[in-house]
Amino acid sequence: MIDKKYVLPPVDFGSALVRDAFAIERLRGDLGTGTTPVETLVELHALFRVVMSVISARIEGNHTTVYDALSQLGPVDAGEESPTDSLHEIMNILDGIDFIDSIDAAQPITHVLIRELHRIAVSDLSREGDRTPGEYRSNEVSISDSAHAPPSHVYVHAEMSALLDFANREMPTHEQMIHVAIAHHRFVWIHPFTNGNGRVSRLFTYAMLRRNGFDSIPGYRAVNPTAVFGNDRDGYYAALEAADDLSGTGTLAWCEFFVHGLRQDLERLVRMQDFDFVTRELLSPAIDALRASGGLTLEEASALQIAAVTGVVKAADLAPALPGTPSQRSVAIRGLLGRGLLTADERGPRFYRTALSRGPLAPFIVRRLDALGYLPRMLEHDGE
């Protein structure tokens, strides 16, 4: 017998939901066709990973700003203080994203994967930890500010088995986003863990998007549903609650919220394919702002502008900005590398790129993303 929770409700072909679903397919077809170099997209993806991890934690009440996260994330040196619980929560979410990205996207989503994502998400946390990391709950739970009563712990494994069967189902392309939306809600509805369900549900949904084709285009792993939820936290919870009765009407309302938000996020992402837009509206203004703050000399700013516009440079390419002998230029480049303003490219030790995801420039890029409307409302004006 088919569980009615996993039957796609009838959808009016002329509805906004269908229009958004087809728009997503059109946008997906546009991915990978632009002029922005893959290396730049990969760097921006690394920056978006941090932003999405902050959003996922913020939804749960974590108040760490994206700027604090960018300045503090990284390995802890011997003798340094351990990261705060709030920062550690964000680091765990990043680890969860990395774990998903390390797996073949075609691999089925299993109980083992879900429990491992939970173990990663709650590892070594106090406020947002769990007494049994990586284990389904063995107790009854309630959800704060929600009328929904999750299933008894006795049924959790069976409920998750049904959900995973649904999540791994092959779906027609035009139904894939509705499929992902329903799976996300049903995960939250089951509430399989004592704590950490929200964070794991968003990682689970990211894994489902990868299975549905968003892992095959280099540089576009930034397609992450967390942006949808962070853009309207109250709307997110209200839409989830509307589907808690498992009715077709409530499920469609939730799907409309999710699919429309994903379409908006994809439209912004596709805009990043236009390298002229990226350099003119994002990278160059960020470099100018860093220089205006006193973080760069005129020569250093010029060098970063050349690297940003060129994508990958060698020392000779920076000669117009860094005049002098090759030896003097090498010293200047080593200084830019040491300060995290340039980064070595994969092509070899003498190829360089402007560092976008970490270092002094990253917060200024985030501010430009905010000014351009790329940050979910949850993070708007985070640096004020």
Residues 284 and 137 in one domain: no
Residue with tokens 């546009």: 30
The 3-state DSSP class for residue 36 equals: coil
Are 383 and 363 within 8 A, CB to CB? Answer: yes
Q: How many residues does the chain have?
A: 384
Residues 115 and 256 in one domain: yes
The pLDDT of residue 76: 43
Domain count, the chain: 2
End-to-end CA distance of the chain: 55
The 3-state DSSP class for residue 116 equals: helix
In a domain? residue 244 = yes
The pLDDT of residue 219: 54
Residues 193 and 285 in one domain: no
Regarding pTM above 0.75, the answer is yes
Residues 309 and 246 in one domain: no
Return the percentage of the chain with pLDDT > 90, whole number. Answer: 56
In a domain? residue 103 = yes
Range of the domain at 44: 4-269
CATH of the domain at 250: 1.10.3290.10
In a domain? residue 122 = yes
Cβ neighbours for 343, distance < 8 A, ≥ 6 positions apart:
337, 352, 353, 354, 355, 359
Residues 65 and 109 in one domain: yes
CATH of the domain at 289: 1.10.10.10
The pLDDT of residue 146: 82
Are 215 and 28 within 8 A, CB to CB? Answer: no
Residues 244 and 279 in one domain: no
The pLDDT of residue 379: 73
pLDDT tens by residue, 97-110: 999 989 998 899 99
Which stretches of the chain score pLDDT less than 70? Answer: 1-2, 74-82, 215-223, 378, 380-384
The pLDDT of residue 382: 66
C-alpha–C-alpha distance, residues 236 and 248, integer Å:
18
The pLDDT of residue 119: 98
Residues 330 and 255 in one domain: no
Residue where one domain finishes, among candidates 201, 235, 269: 269
Residues 263 and 327 in one domain: no
The pLDDT of residue 380: 66
- Reported for 16-21, long-range contacts at CB under 8 A and 24+ positions apart, including other chains, are 16/256, 16/260, 17/178, 17/252, 17/255, 17/256, 17/259, 17/260, 18/174, 20/177, 20/256, 20/259, 20/260, 20/262, 20/263, 21/174, 21/175, 21/177, 21/178, 21/259
Residue where one domain finishes, among candidates 223, 247, 269: 269
Residues 320 and 255 in one domain: no
Please provide the average confidence, as pLDDT, over all residues in the chain. 88
Q: Kindly report the backbone phi and psi dihedral angles of residue 353, in degrees, each rounded to the nearest multiple of 5, phi listed first.
A: -135, 155
Are 354 and 304 within 8 A, CB to CB? Answer: yes
Residues 223 and 319 in one domain: no
Residues 211 and 318 in one domain: no
Residues 302 and 373 in one domain: yes
Residue where one domain finishes, among candidates 215, 245, 269: 269
C-alpha–C-alpha distance, residues 282 and 373, integer Å:
12
